[in-house]
Chain A
Amino acid sequence: EVQLVESGGGLVQPGGSLRLSCEGSGFTFSVHYIDWVRQAPGKGLEWVGRSRNKAESYTTEYAASVKGRFTLSRDESKNSLYLQMNSLKTEDAAVYYCARLDYSKMDVWGKGTTVTVSS
Chain B
Amino acid sequence: EIVMTQTPLPLSVTPGQPASISCKSSQSLLQSDGKTYLFWFLQKPGQSPQLLIYEVSNRFSGVPDRFSGSGSGTDFTLEISRVEAEDVGVYYCMQSGQLPITFGQGTRLEIK
Q: Is A45's beta carbon under 8 Å from chain B?
A: yes
- Classify chain B's interface size: 20 to 34
**B103:A46 contact, CB within 8 angstroms:** yes
**A45:B51 contact, CB within 8 angstroms:** no
**B92:A63 contact, CB within 8 angstroms:** no
**Nearest chain A CB to B96's CB is how many angstroms away?**
6
A37 CA / B43 CA spacing, docked (Å): 13
A46 CA / B54 CA spacing, docked (Å): 18
A32 CA / B90 CA spacing, docked (Å): 27
**B51:A105 contact, CB within 8 angstroms:** yes
The closest CB in chain A to the CB of B54 belongs to A105
**A109:B50 contact, CB within 8 angstroms:** yes
**B106:A44 contact, CB within 8 angstroms:** yes
A104-B54, A105-B60, A109-B48 are known contacts. Are A44 and B92 too (CB-CB below 8 A)? yes
Interface of A toward B, CB cutoff 8 Å: 35, 37, 44-47, 50, 61, 63-64, 97, 99, 104-107, 109-112
